[in-house]
Amino acid sequence: MEPELSRAAVEDSGERTAISTSDRRRPGIRFGLGTMHLVLLILLILWGVFPLLWLLKSAVTPTQDTLQTPIAIFPHGWDWNNVVAAWTQVGIGTQFLNTIWVAVGSWAVQLIVATTAGFGIAVLRPAYAKVLNGLVLGTLFVPGVVLLVPLYLTILHPPVLDQSLINTYWAVWLPAGTSAFNVVLVTRFFNGLPREIFEAARTDGAGPFRLFWSIVLPMSRPILGVVSVFAIVTAWKDYLWPSLVLTNPAIQPLSVRLPNIQSQTDLGVFLAALAISMIIPIVLFLVFQRLFLRSAGLGGAVKG
Amino acid sequence: MTTPSAPLTAPRTVVRRRRPRTPLTWIRGGGPANLLFLLPLLVVFGVFSWWPILRSVVMTFQRTTFVVTTWVGFDNFTALFRDPLVPTAVLNTAWFALLALIFGYPLPLVVAVLMSEVRRLRGLFSALAYLPVVVPPVVAVLLWKRFYDASPHGVFNTILGWVGIPPQPWIQSAATAMPSIVLEATWAAAGGTIIIYLAALTSVPPELYDAADMDGAGIWQKIWHVTLPQLRPVLLITFILQIIGTAQVFLEPFLLTFGGPANATLTVLQLIYRYAFGSGIGVDYGKATALSLLLAIFLALFSLVYFRLTRAWSQN
């Protein structure tokens, strides 16, 4: 599960693959492996890094150079004005804050729903919890496309409230909470916690709220980290849904705004805006690499 | 999967059932607190998931305008069968799914198997492969739109020029638009699948390789007879997940070509979007939900048949 094991750890762990240690000692295989690694590394750099470096370069290149000689590296110097214009004139700064706001709200709603639901289903276990759990699991089998129109109409005319949620962030935050995947992950983790601890806490007089806040949540940091990564990444990436319910440009996140400004914006400035939109996710990934990759591997494991 | 460990609690519930259940015993038994914890789930899923799912079934038999809702029976479905765009969209989506399988299904497997042999700098390899997945999809699509610039000075056309290939129209021609879209989509998604395969590869029991060594198996034989069979369950899952995902493709064709040129990249989801929210055709929620429901039913049946057919095969 840990893709980042150091060399020594890999050798010690007894982890092995098709090529055995004795195979590796043979010079022909050693040479072949070395070449393969080098070729793979170069291809992966071309695949993963080249497009992003090109974007960073073009963000500070004069528009005419990007149009005429897109691969050349700064044939006529830099143009930092692209970045300034993107942030101020095009208003990417506002959209940037909107994106953060969308992500933070979605994260909070998802965390609240997933942890309280997981606690109710896995720890408190009232009789009807099984039914609820089944209904949550059921939504995993309903493709997102089914929800598009009826959910839009629900946002337009929500029950009880006498007011449309269109052009409010609640229209993005609340539907984000319906991630069955989060509930499954958290419930499964809570199920794995030792029940003796809960019983001991109950005998010591801890009520359900105390149990939830002081015992279950602190024991669940790993899974909360995974859910948080999922929540923030999904919110940052989403396009179709926010474009439907956030029609006011002043409150739109980057993903919704970028396609709309494309045609009226100078190419250099537009590419600078793209580069700015990309930076936070990339930095988050580089800092929390281990957590990201573990979540990605786990995603496969759970879906499997 | 989430079955509570029943043996300890079961006898207690039997005892409790014998007592009469009154509101008072419910309150004493912690009922209100239980309900309070499950309330966010009930409200959020109820209003924004379960109710809309039910409603989508109802809406397929209705015509909804801003003022009135009327029952129209199967009119929405007959309207769909008369619309010549429906077969176009279905064929385009199938074409996208097929191309995505050809481009994107073997590639992550090959890369993951090669990467699993890397002893040094594995983290670097994983990070490089995963980097495109981290780029927000909208940014990735708009960036690739620039790469696909059809002029001789476009990014890809410049690179092709180095090896003497003439400029390609990429997303501007009906023939090359779909493969170009699939290439971008593969770039954006492959890293996630690679990481899933890598995780599966590390859980292959080492004894199997040791046994294969004893039998004198070569490297390729070990990959063919040990690695791939061990990956079979996860390969089967990623296959069906990819089908379900590509059947609902929207973002890439919507932003790269807007379904064009001449509807050559109009997918089912884009058609649903046009029915429901698109300008020109007018708002037709009933037709949109009817098509959504048909797609969902198709995917459910497809998955069912798929799991039936592969059941014997997935259990090694």
Q: Which residue of A has its CA nearest to B284?
A: A149
Distance CA A60, CA A256 (A): 23
> Looking at the complex, does the CB of residue B149 fall below 8 Å from at least one CB of chain A?
yes
CB A56 within 8 A of CB A64: no
pLDDT tops 80 at residue A301: no
| B70-109 residues touching A, CB cutoff 8 A | none
Residue with tokens 């007894």: A14
Distance CA B90, CA B271 (A): 10
Q: With an 8 Å Cβ cutoff, are A19 and B219 in contact?
A: yes
Other CB atoms within a 10 A radius of the CB of residue A125 amount to: 17
Q: What rounded mean pLDDT belongs to chain A?
A: 86
Which residue in A17, A117, A282 is closest to B40 by CB distance? Answer: A117
CA distance A248 to chain B (A): 16
Condensed to tens digits (0 to 9), the pLDDT of residues A54-76 reads: 999 998 888 888 888 888 787 77
Distance CA A171, CA A247 (A): 11
Listed in order, the ranges of chain A carrying CATH 1.10.3720.10 are: 87-303
Q: Is the peptide bond before B7 cis (omega within 30 degrees of 0)?
A: no
Q: What confidence tier does B119 reach under pLDDT thresholds 50, 70, 90?
A: confident
Q: Would you kindly state where each structural domain of chain B is located, as residue ranges? A: 6-59, 78-314
Instruction: Report the candidate in B173, B137, B145 with the shortest Cα–Cα distance to residue B250.
Output: B137
Q: What confidence tier does B314 reach under pLDDT thresholds 50, 70, 90?
A: low
Residues with Cβ < 8 Å from A42, sequence gap 6 or more?
A: none
CATH superfamily, region B78-314: MetI-like (1.10.3720.10)
Residues of chain A positioned with their CB less than 8 A from the CB of B223: 18
Distance CA A31, CA B171 (A): 41
DSSP conformation class of A123: I
Q: What rounded mean pLDDT belongs to chain B?
A: 86
Q: What confidence tier does B282 reach under pLDDT thresholds 50, 70, 90?
A: low
SS3 B63: strand
Instruction: Report the candidate in A281, A228, A229 with the shortest Cα–Cα distance to residue A255.
Output: A281
Residues of chain B positioned with their CB less than 8 A from the CB of A262: 142
Q: For chains A and B, what is the number of CB pairs under 8 angstroms?
A: 332
Condensed to tens digits (0 to 9), the pLDDT of residues B192-219 reads: 999 999 888 888 888 888 888 888 888 8
Distance CA A172, CA A100 (A): 13
CA distance B125 to chain A (A): 7
Could you give the residue ranges of the DSSP H alpha helices within chain B? 6-18, 23-28, 31-45, 51-59, 75-82, 85-104, 106-116, 122-134, 137-147, 155-162, 174-202, 206-214, 219-222, 228-247, 251-256, 268-277, 285-314
Residue range A87-303, CATH number: 1.10.3720.10
CB B184 within 8 A of CB B140: yes
Q: With an 8 Å Cβ cutoff, are A113 and B191 in contact?
A: no
Residues of chain A positioned with their CB less than 8 A from the CB of B200: 300
Distance CA A116, CA A114 (A): 6
- What is the amino acid identity at position A230? F
